[in-house]
Structure 1
Amino acid sequence: MGVNYKKLWIRLIDEELKVSDLYHTTGIAPSTFSKMRKNEYVSLDVLVRICCALKCQLSEIVEVELENTDK
């Protein structure tokens, strides 16, 4: 199981925003965005701050990737 942030990157492109705009607005460290580019976990606080800045819900910026449990 993992996460991906594809929806966040697409949203930034659609709104013509740069990642640097987002970390200046939210105060989130650039290294946190580097973790997100690698689809690594970040804190819920980070995700909530991004949602507040973009005026969106968590489901609009992050997806949980479930493992295939078929045997």
Structure 2
Amino acid sequence: MSSRFSTLKISYKPLWKTRLDKGMRKQDLREQARISASTIARLGRDENVATAVLVRMCEALHCQRLDIVGLVPCTQSSRQED
């Protein structure tokens, strides 16, 4: 395994669970966190978003960062996509 590749990647799966637990629709999250539809799409694909976006989502959901972001093992195919 090459050391230039990370073995972990960001996952926003905890975000979607937290949102559902709080009874919030994606549209509600977008409005309360002041984020665009394209940012929601990026989150859905586990792509990078600005730290300020994460902060606003935590504020909207009244939660901590670990409630919305996790780290998962990076598969060989996803490493090749990066």
In 1, the alpha carbon distance for the partners of 2:61 and 2:24 equals 10
Q: TM-score, normalised by structure 2?
A: 0.75
Whether 2:43 is the aligned partner of 1:36: answer yes
State how many pairs are aligned. Answer: 68
Q: Structure 1 unaligned segments of length 5 or more: list them.
A: none
2:23 to 7, 10, 16: 16
**Rg larger for:** 2
After TM superposition, what 4+ stretches of structure 1 lie above 4 angstroms from structure 2? none
Identity of aligned residues (%): 34
CA RMSD, Structure 1 to Structure 2 (Å): 1.5
Q: Which residue does 1:52 correspond to in 2?
A: 59
Matching residue's letter, 2:10: V
Whether 2:13 is the aligned partner of 1:6: answer yes
Q: TM-score, normalised by structure 1?
A: 0.85
In 2, the alpha carbon distance for the partners of 1:67 and 1:5 equals 14
Q: Structure 2 unaligned segments of length 5 or more: list them.
A: 1-7, 76-82
